[in-house]
Structures are given as C-alpha cells and as structure tokens.
C-alpha cells in the first residue's frame, strides 16, 4: 500500500507534464496556422454589381460591353487609391461611388422604385482593422449613400441612421443632397409598372417580388498595411413597401469585415441574408472551423442559403489576398484587381 501511495504522485506529475507538452504543441500548431492565415497579401480590390438571372442570350453586345466597362472603371478607380498607398476603406468607397453614379446598377442613379413610386436607398461600410461600421437606410435625397455610411462611421457614435434623420446628418456633414428624381430612370419605372400589373393578379403583394436581377453594388479591399474594408450600396427591391429595409445596411448580413477573417459584401434576396447573418457567418466559419475563405463562402451560399430557399451571392477577401466570388444564381456582375491586373466577369461559367 505504501508503495502504491509513492507511485501515484509520480504518475500524476508525469500525466500533467505530458499534458503540458501536448498543450504547448497544440498552441504552436494553432499559432502557426493563424500566422499563415494572417500573412498579408498584395493590395487587392474585389467588386460586385449584383446577382440574379443574368443570361448572355438576354444581353445585347452593347449592353454587355457597357457593364464590363463600368465594372472595370470601378476597379481601376479603387485600385489606383490602393496603389498610391491609400486605405482599403477609401478604395471601397471610391469604387462603389463609380457604380452609384451609373444607371446600370440598382444603387444611386438607377435605383429601383418603391410601391409608392420613389427611390429609397441603403448602404453600409465596415473597417476590418478597427471593427467600426456605419450605415444609412431608407434615405431619399443623399447623392452618395455609401459616403453617408462612411460619415456615420467616422463622425457619429452610432452605427446606423435611417430616413429623414440620416439625411439631416448627411447635410450637416456637408454631403451633396439631391432631389429624389435624381435617382430615377425610365427602365426602373417600367419595371415598377410591370410589377404593379403582376401584383394586381395575385392574392398576396408581399411574398412575390419582381425584378430578380439584384443590382446591389459592393466592394471589398485589402491595402498595403494589411487592413480589410467592405461596403455595400443598394436601392433595394422593386415594389418594396412599408419602409422595407434589406440586408445591405445591416452589419453582419450584407456587409462585414475583420482583419482576422475576411471582408464580405453581399447581394441577393435580403430577407434570407438577414435571417442567416450571411456575411458574418462566412467570417465566423473561417475562424471557428479553420477553413479557407473559398470553402466558407461556398458552404454558406451553395448549401446553407440554398437549403433555406435564398438566392444571391457574395464577394469575399481575406488578409492574404485570397478571393471568393460565390453565387447561386445564373450570373453576378463581378470583378477583381490584383497585381495590377483587372478581371471582370458576368456569367456563371466565366
């Protein structure tokens, strides 16, 4: 019995010693993986101009060229800022502003109409280095919603502002204000008229949405300091009612960025992206499951979102410069610029 009592302490010490060694090795493995994943890549810009039923057979050569040219312009504009040593946030805002000023997309000029026949816009930004974010929702007279979101982040204690209050704040910050008619286009008016005609034939006007070409725009960038930033801007859904707000201005749903994981900007049926916290989920899976940005985006968009009945896409970028442009629709206006080379895509198999 005495011998047994002498052996027990020795065994306990041995077990504890072995456990400590294993813990140290485990920590070293985790740290090495973290260091590898946090290795800073070259400056990169990724953009999207919306996902949906985008088919080559429905696109004229002239229209396709117009989309490709504008996407390239957005890439060149944002990337030039990164090349000059500018921040990822500055690049994101600049790239999105190019698309906000084009009638091709559902953001800024060319925004879709609400049921009441006006344009209501949403936007958000998030800084992957500081974790700060800003957003505006349901605004009607701010020329650049993405710039307003930036002002909310930089010059207020809040994350989101909506409606008239957000417009008052934007005006106080010196942003350019416009009449709501500035955003309207004939193409979007016809889309609303068509939606209203179809609505008259249905028993429910809330569950059936028209215009499945989600023209939301977004960008994610990585700067020379290894900082990520993301932003998204949209006009929402054609024939939306009752002040409906989608995922675009909601941090974690339509926009998310953190240096330790990735930056994300989404486009699609917003209600599904909100319910499933899509943007954050992609980043969280990278951290907690230790998977790549490509794997994470694919799991969320092609499996989780599809299983829930949601459609749309995302652009993602991690700190190492790895890119994911995942979508479960027939097309997504998208592109990226890295190492000085711009690449633009529209259709599913490009």
pLDDT mean across residues, the chain: 89
Q: What is the pLDDT of residue 39?
A: 86
- The secondary element (H helix, E strand) that includes residue 4 is helix 2-37
Backbone φ, ψ for residue 123 (5° rounding): -160, 160
Q: What is the pLDDT of residue 53?
A: 82
Cβ atoms 210, 65 nearer than 8 A: no
Q: What is the pLDDT of residue 205?
A: 47
Specify burial of residue 341 (Cβ count, 10 A radius: 0-12, 13-18, 19+).
exposed
Pairwise CA distance, residues 16 & 6, whole Å: 17
The residue ranges of the chain whose pLDDT is under 70 are: 1-38, 202-214
Note the pLDDT tens digit of each residue in 237-282: 999 999 999 999 999 999 999 999 999 999 999 999 999 999 999 9
Note the pLDDT tens digit of each residue in 162-180: 999 999 999 999 999 999 9
Note the pLDDT tens digit of each residue in 118-151: 999 999 999 999 999 999 999 999 999 999 999 9
To the question of pTM greater than 0.85 for the whole model, the response is: yes
Q: Which of 298, 304, 296, 252 is nearest to 274 (CA)?
A: 252
Known catalytic residues are 216
Q: 46-347 adopts what CATH topology?
A: 3.60.20
Count of C-beta atoms within a 10 Å radius of residue 145: 34
Q: What is the pLDDT of residue 210?
A: 45
| 100 contact partners, CB below 8 Å, separation of at least 6 | 107, 108, 109, 144, 145, 146, 217, 233
Could you tell me if residue 141 is left (phi over 0), alpha (psi between -120 and 50 degrees) or otherwise beta? alpha
In the beta sheet, which residues pair with residue 85?
none
**DSSP letter for each residue of 321-350:** --EEEEESSSEEEEEEEETTEEEEEEETT-
User: Tokens representing 28?
Assistant: 């070293």
| 346 contact partners, CB below 8 Å, separation of at least 6 | 54, 56, 59, 64, 67, 68, 331, 332, 333, 334
- The secondary element (H helix, E strand) that includes residue 219 is strand 217-222
Q: Which of 95, 62, 34, 331 is nearest to 221 (CA)?
A: 95
Q: How remote is the C-alpha of 34 from its chain's centroid?
A: 24
Pairwise CA distance, residues 164 & 139, whole Å: 7
Coil, strand or helix at 15: helix
| 43 contact partners, CB below 8 Å, separation of at least 6 | 79, 82, 83, 221, 222, 223, 224, 338
């Amino acid at each position: 019995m005495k011998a047994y009592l002498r052996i027990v302490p020795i065994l306990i010490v041995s077990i504890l010693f072995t456990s400590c060694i294993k813990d140290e090795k485990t920590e070293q493995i985790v740290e090495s993986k973290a260091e590898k994943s946090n290795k800073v890549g070259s400056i990169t810009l990724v953009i999207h101009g919306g996902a949906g039923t985008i088919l080559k057979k429905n696109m004229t050569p002239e229209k396709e060229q117009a989309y490709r040219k504008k996407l390239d312009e957005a890439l060149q504009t944002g990337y030039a800022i990164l090349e000059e040593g500018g921040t990822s946030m500055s690049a994101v805002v600049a790239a999105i502003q190019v698309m906000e000023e084009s009638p091709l997309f559902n953001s800024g000029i060319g925004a879709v109409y609400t049921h009441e026949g006006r344009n209501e816009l949403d936007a958000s930004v998030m800084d992957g280095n500081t974790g700060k974010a800003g957003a505006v929702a349901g605004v009607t007279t701010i020329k650049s919603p993405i710039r307003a979101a930036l002002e909310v982040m930089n010059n207020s204690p809040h994350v989101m502002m909506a409606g008239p209050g957000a417009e008052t704040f934007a005006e106080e910050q010196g942003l350019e204000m416009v009449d709501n008619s500035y955003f309207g286009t004939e193409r979007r008016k016809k889309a609303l008229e068509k939606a209203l005609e179809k609505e008259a034939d249905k028993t429910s006007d809330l569950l059936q949405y028209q215009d499945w070409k989600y023209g939301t725009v977004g960008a994610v960038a990585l700067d020379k300091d290894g900082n990520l930033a993301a932003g998204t801007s949209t006009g929402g859904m054609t024939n939306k009612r009752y002040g409906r707000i989608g995922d675009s201005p909601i941090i974690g749903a339509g926009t998310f960025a953190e240096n330790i994981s990735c930056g994300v900007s989404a486009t699609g049926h917003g209600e599904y992206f909100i319910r499933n916290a899509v943007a954050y989920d992609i980043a969280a899976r990278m951290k907690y499951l230790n998977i790549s940005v490509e794997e994470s985006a694919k799991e969320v968009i092609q499996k989780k979102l599809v299983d829930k009945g949601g459609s749309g896409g995302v652009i993602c970028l991690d700190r190492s410069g790895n890119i994911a442009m995942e979508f479960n629709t027939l097309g997504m206006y998208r592109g990226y610029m890295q190492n000085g080379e711009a690449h633009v895509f529209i259709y599913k198999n490009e």
